């Protein structure tokens, strides 16, 4: 009778242990990858033994605090050891750059102060210009008023002198000459100057020769000054100041 050789148990056992170790290594690698991603993983062996937990009821009280990330199984990185991203910090400023910035700030403050000073001066100048314009307008109005008053005065004076001129023109030349010989020189000049030449000639012929010569010379000087533009601006149309000076 032929005997069958019993199989060798040692190679079979080694092969089985090698397969279990390979499966365990794959499971540990997968758990490490999931822990690095932040996911809690239940080992396959524990999942096979323990039944899936039922959903907790609303009235149920949790048995204990949830496991913190710090209590992760061995193999996952600790959160405290993960490098944290630092906020963006400005680059350091050197001493030369700081000095330039301070100088620029001081220069800006000086420019601002100068701008404020210029604005103040412009405001003062604008107020002074406005005040000066108002003063000029007031003076121009006053000048027009004075010119109007002067024109009215001259018209009144001319009217008064014309009354005397008509009076002497209506008289006989001999009678008028007798009066002219005793009149003051300024008054005589004003009257003779406004008389018509045809009326004044007979009167001058009947006057005393010395008086007639003096009146003729002063009348010629009066009319010469009146025709001069420089003297006409400061001398009235009647020429009373010039006649008074000549008579004095």
pLDDT at site 8: 63
Segment 156-186, tens digit of pLDDT: 888 888 888 888 888 898 988 888 888 888 8
Residue with tokens 């025709």: 227
Domain boundaries, the chain: 171-248
Q: Which of 225, 165, 226 is nearest to 200 (CA)?
A: 165
Q: Which of 151, 236, 156 is nearest to 193 (CA)?
A: 236
pLDDT band at 111 (very low <50, low <70, confident <90, very high): very high
Above 70 in pLDDT, residue 69? no
Segment 58-67, tens digit of pLDDT: 444 444 444 4
The overall average pLDDT reported for the chain is 74
pLDDT at site 118: 92
Say if CB 185 and CB 218 are below 8 A apart.
Answer: yes
pLDDT band at 36 (very low <50, low <70, confident <90, very high): low
Mean pLDDT, residues 195-222 taken together: 88
**φ, ψ of residue 226 in degrees (nearest 5):** -65, -35
Mean pLDDT, residues 70-89 taken together: 51
Query: Of 21 and 43, which is predicted with more confidence?
Result: 21
Mean pLDDT, residues 215-239 taken together: 70
Query: Of 54 and 89, which is predicted with more confidence?
Result: 89
Task: Name the least confident of 16-25, 45-54, 137-146, 214-223.
Answer: 45-54
Q: CA 235 → CA 100, 111, 121, 189, 224, distances in Å? A: 74, 59, 45, 15, 12
Residue ranges in the chain assigned as alpha helix (H): 9-36, 44-49, 95-170, 173-180, 185-194, 197-206, 209-227, 229-232, 240-247
Above 60 in pLDDT, residue 235? no
pLDDT at site 38: 59
Number of residues in the chain: 248
């Amino acid at each position: 009778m032929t005997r069958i050789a019993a199989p060798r148990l040692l190679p079979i056992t080694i092969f089985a242990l090698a397969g279990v170790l390979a499966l365990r290594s794959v499971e540990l690698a997968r758990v490490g990858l999931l822990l690095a991603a932040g996911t809690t993983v239940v080992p396959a062996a524990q999942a096979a033994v323990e039944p899936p937990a039922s959903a907790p009821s609303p009235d149920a009280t949790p048995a204990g605090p949830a496991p913190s990330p710090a209590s992760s199984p061995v193999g996952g990185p600790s959160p405290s050891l993960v490098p944290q991203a630092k906020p963006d910090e400005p680059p350091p400023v050197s001493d030369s750059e700081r000095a330039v910035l301070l100088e620029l700030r001081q220069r800006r403050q000086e420019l601002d102060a100068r701008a404020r000073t210029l604005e103040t001066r412009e405001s003062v100048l604008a107020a002074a210009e406005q005040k000066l314009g108002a003063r000029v307008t007031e003076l121009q109005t006053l000048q027009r008023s004075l010119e109007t008053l002067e024109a009215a005065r001259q018209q009144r004076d001319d009217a008064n002198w014309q009354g005397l001129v008509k009076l002497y023109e209506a008289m006989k030349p001999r009678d008028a000459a007798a009066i002219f010989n005793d009149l003051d020189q300024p008054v005589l000049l004003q009257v003779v100057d406004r008389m018509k030449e045809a009326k004044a000639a007979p009167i001058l012929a009947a006057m005393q020769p010395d008086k007639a010569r003096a009146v003729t010379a002063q009348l010629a000087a009066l009319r010469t000054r009146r025709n001069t533009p420089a003297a006409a601006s400061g001398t009235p149309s009647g020429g009373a100041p010039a006649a008074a000076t000549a008579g004095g």
